[in-house]
C-alpha cells in the first residue's frame, strides 16, 4: 500500500459508484494504470463480493469458501487472514482488503504473486478487455476458459459504474447510483471471443440484489456442469 496517500476510501454508507470509483482512482495511481484498466480490477471485485457487501462466499459454512473483496479461498484465504492479523486489522475492513489486494498485485509473496495481472491488464485498450483480462489472470472463477469468463456481463457493469464514479469524483461532482446506461471509458470493439452468456432482458442489470441472485445462479449452473 502506498504511503504517499492516506487511506480515505468512502465507507459502507456510500454508494458503489463512490466506493468503487475511489478504488479505480487509487489503483490507477498505485499501479500506473489507465482508469479503465483499473476498473477492470474493480469490476471483478465488485461482482465477486456484490459491491463489497458479501465478504464471505454465499452458501458456504464459516471457515470455508471465499472471503473478502476477491473471495480469496484456499491458500490465498489463509494468506489474506495472516496479512490482516500481521497488520492488526479486522479482515472485514476495507483497509485490510485493499492492502492484501495490492500485496498480491505487487507480487510481495512469491507464493501469491499476481503481478502478471497488472502486466496483462496494462496492455488492454478498453474496459471490456480489461475486465476479461483480470477475470482470466486474477479471479478465474469455475468454468473459465480462454474464451469464456462466467459473469462477464455483470463484471463489466460493476466496472463501468465504478469508472463513472471515478470520473464524477475527478470533476468534483457526485456520482448517481446505478446508472442504467453508463458511458464506457473507451470504445468497446466487437468481442472476438465469447465472453459470457447472453444477458437476460427481464432482470435489472444494475441492481445489487439481482447481481447477488445472478451470482448464485451462476455458481449453481457451474456446479451442474452447465
pLDDT at site 165: 97
pLDDT at site 201: 33
pLDDT at site 129: 98
Residues 6+ apart with CB under 8 A from 75: 111, 112
Residues 200, 213: Cα–Cα separation, whole Å:
13
pLDDT at site 207: 43
pLDDT digits (tens, 9 = 90+) for 169-209: 888 755 544 443 343 444 444 444 556 654 433 333 344 45
Q: Is residue 7 part of a domain?
A: no
Record the cell numbers describing residue 57, joined without a space: 462466499
pLDDT at site 131: 98
Q: Is residue 1 part of a domain?
A: no
Q: Is residue 171 part of a domain?
A: yes
Q: Do residues 175 and 17 lie in contact, with contact meaning Cβ atoms separated by under 8 Å?
A: yes
* Domain region containing 20: 16-224
pLDDT digits (tens, 9 = 90+) for 41-88: 999 999 999 999 999 999 999 999 999 999 999 999 999 999 999 999
Please state, in angstroms and as integers, the Cα–Cα distance from residue 92 to each residue in 69, 81, 87, 182, following that order.
9, 10, 13, 29
pLDDT at site 208: 47
Residues 177, 161: Cα–Cα separation, whole Å:
8
Q: For residue 216, what pLDDT band results from cuts at 50, 70 and 90?
A: low
Residues 31, 11: Cα–Cα separation, whole Å:
23
Residues 153, 19: Cα–Cα separation, whole Å:
20
pLDDT digits (tens, 9 = 90+) for 125-160: 999 999 999 999 999 999 999 999 999 999 999 999
Please state, in angstroms and as integers, the Cα–Cα distance from residue 86 to each residue in 6, 46, 80, 132, 172, following that order.
20, 25, 10, 32, 36
Which CATH number characterizes residue 159's domain? 1.10.530.10
pLDDT at site 181: 37
- Radius of gyration of the CA atoms of the chain, in A: 16
> Which among 143, 138, 108, 106 is positioned nearest to 121, based on CA atoms?
138
pLDDT at site 171: 80
Q: For residue 29, what pLDDT band results from cuts at 50, 70 and 90?
A: very high
> Which among 200, 8, 209, 48 is positioned nearest to 138, based on CA atoms?
48
Higher-confidence position of 187 and 28: 28
Residues 53, 208: Cα–Cα separation, whole Å:
9
Q: Is residue 5 part of a domain?
A: no
Q: Is residue 185 part of a domain?
A: yes
Report how many domains make up the chain: 1
Residues 210, 219: Cα–Cα separation, whole Å:
14
pLDDT at site 19: 98
Phi-psi region of 199 (alpha: psi -120 to 50; beta: other; left: phi over 0): beta
Decide if pLDDT at 226 tops 50.
no
pLDDT at site 172: 76
pLDDT at site 197: 53
Amino acid at each position: 500500500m502506498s504511503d504517499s496517500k492516506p487511506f480515505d476510501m468512502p465507507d459502507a454508507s456510500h454508494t458503489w459508484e463512490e466506493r468503487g470509483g475511489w478504488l479505480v482512482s487509487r489503483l490507477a495511481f498505485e499501479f500506473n494504470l489507465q482508469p479503465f484498466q483499473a476498473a477492470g480490477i474493480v469490476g471483478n471485485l465488485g461482482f465477486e463480493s456484490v459491491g463489497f457487501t458479501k465478504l464471505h462466499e454465499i452458501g458456504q459454512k464459516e471457515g470455508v469458501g471465499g472471503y473478502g473483496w476477491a473471495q480469496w479461498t484456499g491458500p490465498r484465504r489463509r494468506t489474506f487472514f495472516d496479512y490482516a492479523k500481521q497488520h492488526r486489522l479486522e479482515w472485514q475492513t476495507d483497509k485490510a482488503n485493499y492492502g492484501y489486494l495490492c500485496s498480491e498485485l505487487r507480487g510481495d509473496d512469491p507464493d501469491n504473486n499476481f503481478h502478471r495481472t497488472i502486466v496483462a491488464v496494462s496492455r488492454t485498450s478498453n474496459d471490456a478487455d480489461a475486465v476479461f483480462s483480470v477475470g482470466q489472470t486474477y479471479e478465474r472463477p469455475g468454468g473459465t476458459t480462454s474464451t469464456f469468463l462466467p459473469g462477464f456481463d455483470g463484471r463489466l457493469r460493476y466496472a463501468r459504474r465504478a469508472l463513472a464514479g471515478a470520473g464524477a469524483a475527478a470533476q468534483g461532482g457526485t456520482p448517481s447510483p446505478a446508472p442504467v446506461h453508463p458511458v464506457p471509458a473507451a470504445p468497446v470493439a466487437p468481442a472476438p471471443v465469447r465472453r459470457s452468456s447472453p444477458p437476460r432482458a427481464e432482470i435489472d442489470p444494475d441492481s445489487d440484489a439481482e447481481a447477488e441472485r445472478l451470482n448464485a445462479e451462476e455458481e449453481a449452473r457451474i456446479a451442474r456442469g452447465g
